[in-house]
């Protein structure tokens, strides 16, 4: 037999493109179009519907960046089309090669009811089936002219990401607005041929199936009359029926398809646009569910449901109905698909609390899976949090983006720092935008690493980010792939159905212990410093507000601000979305985030002030009360309490060094700052150990060129280290404090177009060197780090994460370790030899790197930690991080892991002093420093119960007694949602006895005796 395979394949492509696809719409007539453009921001629907239109013709430009135009399309169904299926085709000027990330529309009926979204790969609106001749057509389209930011010229700086710099040039031209006849038979033929053509391309050339499909396709093409496709499509289809009916093999991979649209809650568009993106896609999906009985759609992010509920109640009503029918499936149980590297312990917990509670209250649905397809890495603290929220599964595909190492499993147990295990699946299809292409389905089957032991994988199917979600074409293809020889099988299933099946067939999968590090997007730990600081400050203020408001409520009977805290938490949680907190959004998003964080800080500061005032009164005596919101006693002030404190500590000195610079001493540490303003010695007087490596200098600012190969705000590429400039030139070095309770020197440097002022302070009684850094940053594509070369020999170091810390190697033996050249810490990193260690603590930065060298002179090991301060990428925000920034770090020589934990809290939660002289007894106190109180609050149900969350922070077993300053009527262990777990820790008198595993997280709910308040 002669091999004519490529001839037939080429024939299929041309005939599909030029004859069969165009025949889907055999008849077409233009609709009349009128347009009105809103003067600025989007307007309410009623205003858009009633605004006066001016005519616009196809081919004319429309849509300044970020504008909203209301189109009215009208016409009459021709009499000859009676009985046919008639649709409107609305092409706003789409680029079909890009399913989202551009203009979009939401179609309304004249009464304002939303119909469906209009997207690049989803342009149809059904008018009638069957049509009545002479029927009037009148639709309105709310069209958003969102500019294309990423594609065409990827990663080039653009002003389009901020309204003020985006200009007013129209971004689109109306391409087609027609009334058409939809020939379903031709459309089905296209689906048949696409499925078979795409399957064929994946089949082995030496297998019979490929040739059987090829011959069937050839017969179908022979049956098509190219001059009359519509009349011959049915005959062509019948030639394909046989190969389409051949069943899949018994060992075929099984794909659970889940209708999906990954909608970033903000990214290359502002938050307000996401509200509308969600409405458009959701309108599409509720309409599609009505048409397609087998289809199941899933949507995560409770925040997005809350937006539809508020802004498009008609769409939300349909969502509620479809959820009740079990076909629109709320997924993930989180407020947003957040970053997980940087959110603090409580915030990560509250993502689940608020997400799951919303789904429970709105729909009576409890999610058991965490759904984070696109998040940039997963901390070792996360499994315990997922479990404590009452969930048990995790889905993500993002680790497939890792640059260096290929993850060894697709389905596995993921074990966190405390030993909690979560059944985890990485869809081997390696995308969250599956479109049911044969290449994707075949890739999933081939790529699945657990073959032989497992058969199931999941495919999130549909266009996200303005692509409109799943299309009817994807559903048609999935139907053909249900049981097709040569292909994996495809079924629409809910995530929970998939996980239940996957776990049942694979109850004992491999185990991966520790963080799931994404070997990409490492710079998201640093970019947009102010967004990160706003997050950290908000987390700290929320802790204080809950603590003092709960204390005031219990001790003084003042009202607890339930609604206010609920609202602020949701705002902070929203901004932890995986393109906001990571700093990868446009300038508009980060500008608004800064403003929002400022408002959050103001509101929380007021709440804290009110609660503290309620607790200590007006303070007319002239005394001063110190509030300690940290979980550890400090200078005589109990954790979670307040007390008047006289500053009695003394003993700080500063003197000039003969060789230049200054020597600072507080009796605990002696710090030498040389004539260049660098810390050449940080000596622990108690343990008689030097922290700084011989010949090296700490707090050395270093600047690198930083121009990654792509993803500028996201990525730092390893070659950035090849070039480095040490900032040692000094403008000024002066003593700025020489009191006996604190001594400080100020170092001023200029470099490039920037200037940095650092204040190095030793305070009486504090075993740490405080480093306050103010940078007026005006660099381009540079990375600024502060280096601390430590005289320490250690193979690993600890970095704080949620509810504990994890260890990372200091060496790069394997490609896995080498790939972690930039990593995340929360409040501290800690380095230790068995009997001595050093902590570096931070009030707002997350990125750091650790390297080690062995010194030629004394063969000692230098372990260098560098905290990442600032970057200056130019995409997507061309002015990222320009301006003044303030950072606070501290170096704590001699720190144990417990000291690192304590100093980490201390630097984040500085004491508050207010006038007064009364004491405030802590609501709860714990007698073991290793057992750290993470939150004290009143129960969200308004019962007045006190909720306390605590965890073991040292990585060891711990016993502790928790005492209350109120009379507890009972204590119950709870999940994160404050639901009792049926465990009742021993309560004796006012004391709860606790035994904790390493890093174990416990939530206690303490009922108050009736007479307590």
Residues marked active site are found at 374
Give the residue with the Cβ less far from Zn ion, 465 or 706: 465
> How many Cβ atoms sit within 10 Å of the Cβ of residue 890?
23
| Smallest separation (angstroms) from Zn ion to the CB of 578 | 6
C-alpha to C-alpha distances, 26 to 29, 228, 425, nearest whole angstrom: 11, 10, 45
Q: How far apart are alpha carbons 415 and 382 in whole angstroms?
A: 9
Asked whether the beta carbons of 1009 and 967 are under 8 A apart, the reply is: yes
53 three-state secondary structure:
coil
C-alpha to C-alpha distances, 437 to 474, 856, 924, nearest whole angstrom: 8, 58, 58
| Smallest separation (angstroms) from Zn ion to the CB of 261 | 11
Burial annotation 365-393 (CB, 10 A radius, 16+ → b, else e): bbbbbbbbbebbbbbbbbbbbbbbbbbbb
| Extended beta strands in 182-230, E state | none
Structure tokens at 203: 């089949």
User: C-alpha dihedral over 707, 880, 518, 516, to 10 degrees?
Assistant: 150
Give the residue with the Cβ less far from Zn ion, 95 or 374: 374
Out of 192, 202, 264, 603, point to the residue binding Zn ion (CB under 5 A).
264
| Smallest separation (angstroms) from Zn ion to the CB of 302 | 16
Give the residue with the Cβ less far from Zn ion, 264 or 929: 264
Stretch 118-137 residues interacting with Zn ion (CB under 5 A): none
Q: How far apart are alpha carbons 667 and 161 in whole angstroms?
A: 53
Give the residue with the Cβ less far from Zn ion, 253 or 521: 521
Q: How far apart are alpha carbons 1012 and 551 in whole angstroms?
A: 12
Give the residue with the Cβ less far from Zn ion, 561 or 582: 582
| Smallest separation (angstroms) from Zn ion to the CB of 522 | 17
| Smallest separation (angstroms) from Zn ion to the CB of 411 | 22
Sequence-ordered alpha helix ranges (H) in 292-373 = 302-311, 313-324, 345-363
Of 80-88, 281-289, 374-382, 954-962, the segment contacting Zn ion by CB under 5 A is: 374-382
Stretch 723-782 residues interacting with Zn ion (CB under 5 A): none
| Smallest separation (angstroms) from Zn ion to the CB of 264 | 4
| Smallest separation (angstroms) from Zn ion to the CB of 374 | 3
Q: Which positions ≥6 away from 877 have C-beta within 8 Å?
A: 161, 162, 528, 585, 586, 587, 590, 713
**Residue given tokens 């991979």 in the structure block:** 253
Q: Is 466 left (phi over 0), alpha (psi -120 to 50) or beta?
A: left
Q: Is 586 left (phi over 0), alpha (psi -120 to 50) or beta?
A: beta
Give the residue with the Cβ less far from Zn ion, 518 or 829: 518
Q: How far apart are alpha carbons 426 and 407 in whole angstroms?
A: 9
Of 370-378, 538-546, 800-808, 870-878, the segment contacting Zn ion by CB under 5 A is: 370-378
User: Roughly what angle, to the nearest 10 degrees, separates helices 529-556 and 345-363?
Assistant: 70
Give the residue with the Cβ less far from Zn ion, 402 or 551: 402
Q: How far apart are alpha carbons 256 and 460 in whole angstroms?
A: 8
Of 202-210, 293-301, 369-377, 675-683, the segment contacting Zn ion by CB under 5 A is: 369-377
Give the residue with the Cβ less far from Zn ion, 101 or 560: 101
Structure tokens at 620: 């007319």
Of 263-271, 455-463, 591-599, 805-813, the segment contacting Zn ion by CB under 5 A is: 263-271
| Smallest separation (angstroms) from Zn ion to the CB of 461 | 16
Give the residue with the Cβ less far from Zn ion, 372 or 629: 372
Q: How far apart are alpha carbons 961 and 989 in whole angstroms?
A: 11
Could you give the string, one character per residue 323-362, with x where binding to Zn ion holds by CB under 5 A and - elsewhere? ----------------------------------------
Give the residue with the Cβ less far from Zn ion, 305 or 448: 305
| Smallest separation (angstroms) from Zn ion to the CB of 376 | 9
Give the residue with the Cβ less far from Zn ion, 262 or 480: 262
Task: Report DSSP letters for 623-667, one per residue.
Answer: -EEEEE-SSS-BTTBPTTEEEE--------EEEE-TTSSEEEE-S
Of 224-232, 261-269, 758-766, 972-980, the segment contacting Zn ion by CB under 5 A is: 261-269
Of 122-130, 366-374, 518-526, 956-964, the segment contacting Zn ion by CB under 5 A is: 366-374
Inter-residue long-range contacts of 233-242, CB under 8 Å, 24+ positions, other chains counted: 233/20, 233/23, 233/183, 233/185, 233/186, 233/188, 233/189, 234/185, 236/189, 237/185, 237/188, 237/189, 237/192, 240/189, 240/192, 240/193, 240/196, 240/216, 242/216
Rg of the chain over Cα atoms, rounded to whole angstroms, equals 31
Q: How far apart are alpha carbons 601 and 561 in whole angstroms?
A: 15
Residue with CB nearest Zn ion? 374
C-alpha to C-alpha distances, 83 to 28, 87, 125, 135, nearest whole angstrom: 15, 13, 17, 12
β-pairing verdict for 297-299 and 104-108: unpaired
Q: How far apart are alpha carbons 327 and 470 in whole angstroms?
A: 14
Binding of residue 401 to Zn ion (CB under 5 A): no
| Smallest separation (angstroms) from Zn ion to the CB of 523 | 16
| Smallest separation (angstroms) from Zn ion to the CB of 102 | 17
Give the residue with the Cβ less far from Zn ion, 374 or 772: 374
**Number of chain positions touching Zn ion (CB under 5 A):** 2
Binding of residue 374 to Zn ion (CB under 5 A): yes
Give the residue with the Cβ less far from Zn ion, 450 or 465: 465
Of 359, 345, 425, whose CA–CA distance to 390 is shortest? 359
Burial label, 235 (beta-carbon count in 10 A; 0-12, 13-18, 19+): middle
| Smallest separation (angstroms) from Zn ion to the CB of 269 | 12
Of 212, 48, 117, 905, whose CA–CA distance to 466 is shortest? 117
Asked whether the beta carbons of 637 and 626 are under 8 A apart, the reply is: yes
Sequence-ordered alpha helix ranges (H) in 922-1002 = none
| Smallest separation (angstroms) from Zn ion to the CB of 267 | 7
Of 368-376, 569-577, 599-607, 884-892, the segment contacting Zn ion by CB under 5 A is: 368-376
Of 257-265, 413-421, 603-611, 981-989, the segment contacting Zn ion by CB under 5 A is: 257-265
Q: Which residues bind Zn ion (CB under 5 A)?
A: 264, 374
């Amino acid at each position: 037999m002669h091999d004519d395979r490529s001839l037939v394949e080429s024939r299929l492509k041309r005939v599909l493109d030029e004859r069969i696809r165009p025949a889907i719409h055999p008849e077409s007539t233009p609709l009349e179009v009128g347009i009105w453009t809103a003067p600025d921001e989007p307007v309410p629907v009623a205003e858009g519907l009633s605004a006066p239109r001016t005519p616009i013709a196809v081919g004319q430009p429309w849509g300044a960046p970020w504008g909203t135009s209301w189109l009215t399309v009208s016409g009459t169904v021709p009499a000859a089309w009676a009985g046919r299926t008639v649709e409107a085709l609305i092409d706003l000027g789409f680029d079909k090669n890009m399913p989202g990330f551009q203009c979009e529309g939401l179609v309304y009926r004249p009464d304002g009811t939303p119909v469906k979204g209009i997207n690049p790969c989803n342009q149809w609106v059904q008018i009638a089936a069957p049509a009545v001749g002479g029927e009037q057509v009148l639709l309105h389209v709310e069209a958003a002219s969102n500019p294309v930011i990423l594609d065409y010229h990827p990663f080039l700086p653009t002003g389009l990401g901020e309204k003020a710099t985006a200009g007013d040039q129209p971004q689109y031209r109306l391409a087609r607005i027609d009334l058409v006849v939809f020939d379903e038979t031709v459309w089905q033929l296209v689906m048949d041929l696409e499925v078979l053509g795409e399957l064929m391309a994946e089949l082995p050339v030496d297998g019979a199936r490929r040739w059987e499909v090829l011959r069937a396709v050839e017969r179908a093409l022979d049956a098509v009359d190219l001059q009359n496709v519509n009349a011959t499509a049915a005959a062509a289809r019948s030639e394909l029926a046989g190969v389409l009916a051949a069943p899949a093999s018994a060992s075929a991979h099984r794909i659970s398809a889940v209708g999906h649209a990954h909608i970033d809650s903000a990214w290359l568009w502002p938050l307000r646009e996401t509200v509308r993106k969600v409405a458009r896609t959701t309108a599409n999906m509720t309409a599609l569910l009505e048409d397609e009985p087998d289809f199941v759609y899933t949507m995560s992010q409770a925040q997005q449901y809350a937006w539809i509920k508020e802004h498009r109640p008609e769409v939300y009503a349909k969502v509620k109905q479809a959820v009740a029918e079990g076909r629109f499936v709320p997924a993930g149980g989180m407020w947003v698909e957040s970053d997980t590297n940087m959110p603090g312990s409580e915030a990560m917990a509250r993502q689940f609390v608020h997400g799951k509670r919303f789904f429970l209250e709105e729909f009576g649905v409890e999610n058991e899976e965490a759904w984070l397809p696109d998040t940039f890495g997963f901390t070792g603290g996360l499994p315990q949090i997922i479990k404590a929220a009452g969930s048990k599964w995790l889905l993500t595909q993002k680790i497939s983006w890792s640059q260096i190492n290929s993850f060894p499993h697709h389905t596995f147990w993921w074990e966190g720092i405390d030993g909690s295990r979560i059944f985890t699946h990485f869809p081997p299809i390696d995308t969250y935008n599956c479109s049911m292409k044969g290449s994707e389905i075949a890739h999933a089957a081939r790529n699945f690493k657990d073959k032989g032991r497992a058969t199931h994988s999941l495919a999130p199917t549909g266009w996200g980010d303005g692509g409109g979600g799943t299309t009817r074409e994807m559903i048609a293809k999935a139907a053909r792939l249900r049981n097709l020889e040569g292909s994996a099988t495809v079924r629409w299933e809910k995530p929970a159905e998939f996980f239940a099946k996957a776990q049942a067939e694979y109850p004992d999968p491999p185990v991966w212990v520790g963080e799931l590090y994404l070997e990409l997007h490492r710079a998201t730990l640093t970019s947009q410093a102010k967004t990160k600081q706003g997050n950290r400050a908000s987390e700290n203020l929320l802790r204080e507000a809950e603590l003092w408001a709960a204390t005031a409520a219990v001790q003084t009977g003042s009202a607890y601000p339930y609604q206010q805290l609920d609202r602020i938490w949701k705002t902070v949680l929203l901004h932890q979305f995986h393109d906001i907190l990571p700093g990868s959004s446009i300038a508009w998003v980060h500008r608004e985030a800064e403003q929002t964080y400022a408002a959050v800080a103001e509101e929380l500061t007021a709440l804290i002030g009110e609660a503290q005032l309620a607790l200590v009164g007006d303070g007319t005596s002239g005394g001063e009360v110190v509030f300690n919101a940290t979980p550890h006693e400090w200078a005589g002030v109990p954790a979670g309490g307040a007390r008047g404190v006289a500053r009695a500590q003394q003993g700080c000195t500063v003197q000039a060094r003969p060789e230049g610079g200054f020597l600072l001493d507080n009796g605990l540490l002696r710090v030498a700052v040389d004539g260049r303003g660098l810390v050449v010695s940080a000596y622990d007087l108690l343990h008689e150990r030097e922290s700084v490596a011989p010949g090296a200098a700490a707090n050395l600012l270093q600047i690198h060129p930083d121009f990654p190969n792509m993803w500028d705000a996201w990525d730092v590429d390893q070659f950035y280290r090849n070039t480095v400039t040490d900032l040692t030139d000094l403008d000024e070095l002066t003593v700025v404090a020489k009191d006996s309770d604190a001594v400080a020197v100020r170092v001023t440097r200029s470099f490039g177009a920037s200037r940095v002022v650092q204040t190095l302070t030793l305070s009486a009684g504090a075993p740490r060197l405080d480093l306050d850094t103010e940078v007026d940053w005006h660099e381009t594509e540079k990375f600024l780090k502060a280096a601390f070369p430590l005289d320490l020999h250690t193979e690993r170091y600890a970095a704080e994460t949620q509810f504990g810390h994890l260890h990372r190697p200091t060496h790069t033996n394997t490609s896995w370790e080498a790939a972690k050249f930039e990593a995340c810490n929360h409040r501290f990193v800690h380095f230790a030899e068995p009997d001595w260690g050093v902590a570096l603590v931070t009030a707002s930065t997350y990125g750091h790197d650790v390297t080690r060298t062995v010194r030629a002179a004394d063969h000692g090991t230098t372990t260098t930690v560098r905290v990442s301060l600032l970057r200056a990428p130019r995409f997507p925000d061309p002015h990222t991080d320009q301006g003044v920034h303030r950072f606070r770090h501290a170096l704590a020589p001699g720190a144990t892991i417990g000291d690192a934990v304590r100093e980490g809290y201390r630097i984040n939660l500085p004491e508050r002093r207010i006038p007064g002289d009364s004491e405030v007894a802590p609501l709860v106190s714990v007698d073991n420093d290793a057992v750290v109180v993470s939150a004290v609050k009143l129960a969200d149900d308004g019962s007045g119960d006190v909720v306390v969350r605590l965890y073991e922070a040292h990585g060891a077993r711990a016993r502790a007694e928790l005492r209350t300053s109120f009379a507890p009527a009972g204590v119950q262990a709870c999940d994160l949602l404050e639901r009792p777990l049926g465990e009742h820790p021993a309560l004796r008198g006012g004391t709860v006895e606790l035994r904790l595993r390493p890093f174990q997280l416990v939530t206690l709910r303490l009922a108050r005796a009736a007479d307590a308040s």
